[in-house]
Structure 1
Amino acid sequence: MSVPAPVPNLKRSLRRFDIMAMGVAAVISFDVIGQIAAGGGQAVTWIAVIAVMFLVPYALVFAETGAAFPQEGGPYVWVEVAFGRPAAVLTTMFYWVTNPVWLGGSLVFVAAAAWDGFVLPLGSGTVADYAFKLAFIWAAILTAVVSLRRGKWITTAGAGAKVLALAFFTGTAVAYGIQHGFRGLQGAGFAPTGVGFLALVPVLLFAFVGFEAPNAAGDEMLAPQRDVPVAIGVSGAIAICCYLLPVLAILSAAPPGKVTGVGGFMDAARLVFGIYGDGREPVLTFVAVLFVVALLTQGSAWMIVADRMQAMAAADGGFFSRGLGAFHPRLGTPVRMNLLSGVTATVFMAAAMNLAKGDASAVFGVVLTVAITTLLLSYLAVVPSLLALRLRHREVPRPYQVPFGTRGFTVATLLVYAWIVLGSWVALFPGTLEQLFGLPYDFRAVWGVSRLTFEAFTLGTVALLLAVAVAGYLTQRRRTRSRDEEREAGPAR
């Protein structure tokens, strides 16, 4: 079994708590909580179903693989060992680019809406709006640039801010419900429907994937074989609570049909914090700041891990120049890839600002779907690679194993893969399965843009990424071949 060469000068600094905190910071997505709650009462039902039918088997197979193959680069290494470099390069491209797209097109919009509504007014499309979004993006990037020994404390603080804000909001919503009655839950409609399922499945899968992300820093963990399975299990349990309880709290307080993806959490907070009387505004401002900090560190946590994956692909000869895969000798971070992520996020933010002529809700929904699509598409290769490694490399020690051995691992992997295929299709071609099964679906009413605009943005992004990945791989391959030919030819006479 051949794996990419280890990165020199990396320092092992990630303990079990750090891995768990990084998973919480990365996976629990404030920006999708409102989007999930917009699905109504059945969102709670589908959270429970997907937690059992998807998250549990997902956590099991990734915990086993992450402990058995803890090399720097994580999923890039797994796919390369299983299916070869071309597949790994393409997979990593989609996995990596999801994060600058998400940072520049979704997280920054939710953060700006919270800051504008609860801290200081920014307006829409103003100089202040652009300045805030640029500062947000580059603060997340700079957080990823600093050494992991220090940067891990920033993501840990973000994880703490996230859990604190969600716990405070949920507790306040319970107090509000006791005082005013839980009227929102009475008309929420928890009965599952086909329309609700197809609307929610991509965003719920997006909300629950990513617990393997810290494995991208595998060579910087102190004891990955021991710590990865426990960290995935604990962070997965925290994630279930941090989605289920706040969504229930939003539904209990917000009037039916008034929850939106871009403002769902903070709009519900504005309502339930009314129980604090004259203290509502200061409390709202404080929670809004926590909210923005949590979003910022969420973006930086993904930049830390995804940039390492893409840097490993570049260093391994799979992306334009090996120089893009260089890790800074003192910081131990892929600074060039970090900066490339910042530029990509900035470009995508500018493009998203012009989508739908500044309709923030429509922009948010479409751009979030782009991020969901690119991430889920990457798992179309990552998940099968886990099974391939299990079957082809039985000699590798596995400190943790899925119950029932290879048979249990196979069943869990196939179940996870079926969910990923379904989520990828629904995210890329919304409304098609509804049409197939005769379910009602008004595209413009759902997305706020035409199907042509939507598909141009989503399919255009996917096509562009495919082209860039192929070009990056072929460029580096041609350079390597030219150098080999020069060495074989020897010095000129």
Structure 2
Amino acid sequence: MSSLLPSTASRAPDTTTTGLRRSLKRLDITAMAIAAVISFDTVGQIATGGGEAVTWTAALALLFLVPYALLFAETGAAFPQEGGPYVWVRLALGRSAAALTTLFYWVTNPIWLGGSLVFLAAQTWDGFVFHLGSGTVADYTFKLLFVWTAILTAVVSLRRGKWITTIGAAMKVLTIALFTLTAVLYGLEHGFQGLADTHFTPSTAGFLALVPILLFAYVGFEAPNAAGEEMHDPQRDVPAALGRSATVAVCCYLLPVLALLAVVPARQVTGIGGFMEGARLVFGIYGPAAGPLLTLTAVMFVFALLTQGSAWMIVSDRMQAMAAADGGSFSRSLGAFHPRLGTPVRTNLLSGIVATVFMLAAMQLAGGDAGAVFAVVLTVAVTTLLLSYLIIVPSLVLLRLRRPDVIRPYRVPFGHRGFLTCAALVYAWILLGSWCALFPGTLESLAGLPYTFDTTWGVSRTTFETFTLGTVAALLLVGTAGLRVARREGGEAQADR
């Protein structure tokens, strides 16, 4: 596989990755993608869009997810090196662009873990398992344990860690199936009351509000490629695994959102509590067993959230570690893979620190209003991830045009024309989603639509932009510093020779 890389794009010395073992088969890759991409924290947030959320979820599955899956299936099979998107951007645009892109891609995940994931997990545990309170010692303890458990599952060897994400993926699908089936049974017994107030007709306002979160829900199927050299047969397994996991993901978004809206009036659905509050309602059909069954579902829900964070830590930390090991960002020592575990332990620990700091900062946002914190921090994660795709997608196109010699076991239909059409469509969606996430309400104003920022987000625009634009600005500064450190270290290495 390394023969696909030109000599000018060689990786870091082999000593950084000597612990790698081929342990991922097709089922493992599929499960890892499902564990990472199906986001419980976005199900409720999508459902807040009402009936048209179902319409737009289906529309973007066709108009965004399909071309997106085709692009990354071809590229992932053709360039299966460890580091995934980092390698792709580096081959197309150089080490500096790859390092900055990887920073945005990677940092999304500790921000997400320390933000919306941990807040949703704590809210669920507090409401359905054991009372934690808000801002209490128990609340802080739970959140710290959640963050560092996710990090530690990324530290263990992939041979063992993959089973954690596989179980998480199975539990996630099982929880969604149980909720959907129960909602149908509830509706048959009590009537589908939510449908009376639900309108599926799409609107411009709904479209602009939902686009960023739907794109965030659908991207990430290329994530397992970050462990490309730990796959048994990536050139065959990546396209098949991506197709299967994408199909499962569409069902796991459409079905629970539709079921939730069918039994709960859209105006009562909240982003942070939507799924479990809907479960509380429909589980009433089980009589005396409802309480214990709801508690069990809540535990499964939190475990699925935990493995979701773990899956992303496993893949994104590998990307960031490869950027460091390759001399692209900060010190090469940050990219060292543990010789026995085969994991980038130093980068894993750095992710834990970032997630903890972000969690503590988010606790102070909006005076501790969990709902407002959840929505704003989720948007920060959406923003940083979507911005990375603004560089990744053009890199795929450049690789297609400049590297026709590379063997491509899977190809997008209709050759270059099909590939470029898919890339243009995906890029247009990402560009729109990035703008809507960074500057919500601006396109609504241009379209003459009413938009009250404080009511929509629960915080002022100043607070919102401080978190979103401030995070982007801070990342650019950190990325620039990382490039300088890497160049200085590289220059010193050359001088030593």
Do the two structures share a fold, i.e. TM-score over 0.5?
A: yes
Report what 2:11 is aligned to: 4
Can you list the C-alpha shifts for 1:96-142, whole angstroms capped at 9, x where unaligned?
Answer: 00000000011000000000000000000000000000000000000
Q: Kindly report which structure 2 residues correspond to 1:124-163, keeping only aligned pairs within 5 A, or say none.
A: 124-163=134-173
User: Amino acid of the residue matched to residue 412 of structure 2?
Assistant: V
One-letter code aligned to 2:56: W
Helix, strand or coil for the counterpart of 1:248? helix
Structure 1 residue 371 corresponds to structure 2 residue 381: yes
Are 1:14 and 2:24 counterparts?
A: yes
Amino acid at match of 1:283: L
What is the distance in 1 between the residues matched to 2:265 and 2:59?
25
Name the SS of the counterpart of 2:135 in structure 1: coil
Shift of residue 476, structure 1, vs aligned partner: 1.5
Match of 1:408 among 407, 412, 418: 418
- SS across alignment from 1:257: helix
One-letter amino acid of the structure 2 residue matched with residue 49 of structure 1: A
Q: Give the 5 Å matches for 1:220-235.
A: 220-235=230-245
How many angstroms apart in 2 are the aligned matches of 1:430 and 1:364?
16
Q: Which residue of 2 is the match for residue 77 of structure 1?
A: 87
2:60 is aligned with 1:53: no
1:356 aligns with 2:366: yes
Q: 4+ residue runs of structure 1 moved beyond 4 angstroms? A: none
- Whole-angstrom CA distance in 2 between matches of 1:111 and 1:465: 26
Provide, for residues 359-388 of structure 1, a one-character-per-residue CA deviation record: whole Å limited to 9, x for no partner.
000000000000000000000001111110
Aligned equivalent of 2:316, options 306, 317, 332: 306
In 1, Cα distance between the equivalents of 2:310 and 2:76?
21
- SS of 2:227's equivalent in the other structure is helix
**Aligned with 1:273 (options 272, 283, 304):** 283
Matched to 2:290, the amino acid is: R
**CA distance in structure 2 between the aligned counterparts of 1:424 and 1:262, rounded to whole angstroms:** 22
Letter in 1 for 2:410: Y
- CA offset at residue 3 of structure 1? 4.0
- Of the three residues 15, 23, 37, the one matched with 1:27 is 37
Whole-angstrom CA distance in 2 between matches of 1:9 and 1:97: 24
CA contact (8 A) 2:195 2:265 kept: no
Which of 81, 90, 95 is equivalent to 2:100? 90
Instruction: Report the count of equivalent residues.
Output: 487
Cα separation, 2, equivalents of 1:20 and 1:482: 43
**What is the Cα deviation at residue 475 of structure 1?**
1.1
Q: Distance in 1 between matches of 2:220 and 2:254?
A: 18
Offset at residue 465 of structure 1 (A)? 0.5
Give 1:486 shift. 4.1
Equivalent position SS for 2:228: helix
Q: How is 1:420-439 mapped onto 2 (pairs within 5 angstroms)?
A: 420-439=430-449
Question: Shift of residue 485 of structure 1?
Answer: 2.8
- Could you give the per-residue CA deviations for residues 390-428 of structure 1, whole angstroms, max 9, x where no partner exists? 000000000000000111001001100000000000000
SS of the residue aligned with 1:311? Answer: helix
Q: SS in structure 2 opposite 1:401? A: coil
TM-score by length of 2: 0.97
Q: Deviations over 1:297-355 (max 9, x none)?
A: 00000000000000000001122211100000000000000000000000000000000
CA distance in 2 between partners of 1:475 and 1:214 (Å): 28
For the aligned residue pairs, the C-alpha RMSD in angstroms reads: 0.8
**2-side partners of 1:127 and 1:10: how far apart?**
40
Aligned-partner SS, 1:210: coil
Superposed displacement of residue 168, structure 1:
0.2
Q: Conserved in 1, the CA contact under 8 Å of 2:19 and 2:343?
A: no
Give the whole-Å Cα distance in 2 for the aligned partners of 1:479 and 1:227.
38
The Cα of 1:479 is off from its aligned counterpart by: 2.0
- Other-structure match for 2:403: 393
CA distance in 1, matches of 2:486, 2:172: 41
Q: 1:9, 1:329 within 8 Å by CA — same for their partners in 2? A: yes
CA shift, 1:483, in A, is 3.0
On the 8 A contact 2:45/2:272 being kept in 1, the answer is: yes
Q: Which residue of 2 aligns with 1:491?
A: none
Q: Output aligned runs, 1:433-452, within 5 Å.
A: 433-452=443-462
Preserved contact between residue 151 and residue 352 of structure 2 (Cα < 8 Å):
yes
Q: Distance in 2 between matches of 1:486 and 1:14?
A: 39
Query: Aligned partners of 2:401, 2:410: CA distance in 1, in Å?
Result: 16
Partner Cα separation in structure 2 for residue 202 and residue 362 of structure 1: 17
C-alpha separation in 2, matches of 1:379 and 1:41: 29
**CA positional deviation for 1:253:** 1.0
Give the alignment of 1:71-220 within 5 angstroms. 71-220=81-230
The letter for the 1-side match of 2:68 is Y
Q: Distance in 2 between matches of 1:334 and 1:8?
A: 11
Q: Could you tell me how far 1:278 is from its partner in structure 2?
A: 1.3
Q: Which amino acid aligns with 2:435?
A: W
Partner of 1:189, secondary structure, is: coil
Question: Percent of aligned pairs with the same residue?
Answer: 71
Partner residue, 1:334:
344
Partner SS state of residue 130, structure 1: helix
Partner of 1:323: 333
Is this contact kept in 2: 1:3–1:81, CA < 8 A? no
Q: Which amino acid aligns with 1:170?
A: T
Give secondary structure in 2 for the equivalent of 1:440: coil
More divergent stretch after superposition (304-313 vs 474-483): 474-483
Which letter maps to 2:353? V
3-state SS of the aligned residue for 2:411? Answer: coil
1:418-460 superposed Cα distances (whole Å, 9 cap, x missing partner) = 0000000000000010011111111000000000110011100
Q: Which runs of 5+ in 2 are unaligned?
A: 1-5
CA contact (8 A) 1:3 1:77 kept: no
CA distance in 2, matches of 1:263, 1:9: 42
Task: Verify the 8 A CA contact 1:27 1:239 in the aligned structure 2.
Answer: yes
- Cα distance in 1 for partners of 2:335, 2:412 equals 34
Task: Read off the aligned partner of 1:432 and give its amino acid letter.
Answer: T
User: How far apart in 1 are the matches of 2:206 and 2:352?
Assistant: 35
C-alpha distance after superposition, 1:160-202 (max 9, x if no partner): 1100000000000000000011121121110000000000000
The TM-score with structure 1 as length reference comes to: 0.98
Partners of 2:487 and 2:331 lie apart in 1 by 10
- Structure 1 unaligned residues grouped into runs of 5+: 488-493
Contact 2:51 2:266 in 1 (8 A): no
Deviation at 1:271, TM superposition (A): 0.4
Within 2, Cα distance between the matches of 1:122 and 1:466?
Answer: 37
Partner of 2:265: 255
Q: Following the alignment from structure 2 to structure 1, what is the Cα–Cα distance between the partners of residues 300 and 495?
A: 57
Residue 258 of structure 1 and its aligned partner are, at CA, apart by: 0.7
